[in-house]
Structure 1
């Protein structure tokens, strides 16, 4: 992956959105550029130095000091934060997922769950409304979402107690194996 018009937050007081960010399967490469496009420096940050905690690569979408989204990468010996001039959360999520894929083989659960700009509880309200509409559809003999009404839907959610992943059939009561919290999927 490659992005232009990037700002490295460690760039100093006069930093501007002139840098490039390149992600390879081995390194994160930060090309520092001047105001006129001249290359001032190239820094390589090995991906194998990115921290992995509980199977999750520590590359996340965060908020910078001005409230804008940024890419935060936590290394064994420090951290980096990159802002994108477009403030594109999708581009940041791509970086988060690609770094996670290289390091763990999986996409990051951070990119879809831990969106710091989402309104808390909206996902739950949307899911409840969807279920309510499906009940009305079933009462009129319409199959919900084109699926057979008796078919169980497998879902994965986060534990409300400790945020551990939970998997099972939708509507099933489960107990978290980490914190023993009972909840409905």
Structure 2
């Protein structure tokens, strides 16, 4: 789509409005964030005079996300009760706060970014999440479950029991593959499903 300047073979996976870049008083309003199979795109409209505005796109390549134990570093967290998405890129760490949708939306985005970066596009859940009051209730229930779990762990430790907390499944990177560039036929290596740029002719395509 021209409005996002997508590269050949680049596809939109999900997008969300009601977001801000950063957290708290120092944050900046964004029109939306967009996840593709190649980039995390931040979209903002900036005023440039009394009646003039300009739309800006910041493209953050998924192949520049840092990995720990082969897992892309994209996490959901709370900062001063605000749900945020944090993605560690090689040049910077991007923090996006969600003004609607609650922690569940932040969790969904973190999981989706990890899977897109790993090339596991088909595993991304794009179903609609609860909104408004329903989202707040779901978020409250999740928080209550976390508190109960923590209390249960304390009681279990006191009684000598072993109550093991379940950890979220780490999204492993897709298999490494080598393909021929459709532009110049040079060999290009990467992860299956990953968006790449040929170093010989700058052609962008998906492995």
Taking structure 2 as the reference length, the TM-score comes to: 0.48
Give 2:110's aligned residue: 96
Give the Cα separation in 2 of the matches to 1:157 and 1:14.
33
Deviates more, 1:98-107 or 1:74-83: 98-107
Distance 1:45 1:105, change over 3 A: closer
**Aligned match of 1:33:** 45
**Which one of the candidate residues 57, 66, 72 is aligned to 1:51?**
66
Matched, 1:23 2:35: yes
1:8 aligned partner = 21
Aligned-residue Cα RMSD (Å) equals 4.0
For structure 2, the 5+ residue unaligned runs are 1-13, 125-141, 156-164, 171-207
Q: How far is 1:11 from its partner?
A: 10
Q: Which has the higher relative contact order, 1 or 2, with Cα contacts under 8 A spaced 6 or more apart?
A: 2
CA 1:54/1:2 → structure 2, altered by over 3 Å: closer, same or farther? same
> How many angstroms apart in 2 are the aligned matches of 1:14 and 1:105?
30
Pair 1:77-2:78 in alignment: no
CA gap of 1:42–1:80, structure 2 versus 1, over 3 A, is same
4+ long deviations beyond 6 Å: none
Offset of residue 56 of structure 1: 1.7
**Greater Rg by CA:** 1
Contact 2:15 2:33 in 1 (8 A): yes
Rounded to whole Å, the distance in 2 between the matches of 1:55 and 1:124 is 33
State the shift of 1:119 in Å: 3.4
The equivalences for 1:113-124 within 5 A come to: 119=146, 122=149
Equivalenced residue count is: 124
Contact 1:8-1:19 within 8 A present in 2 as well: no
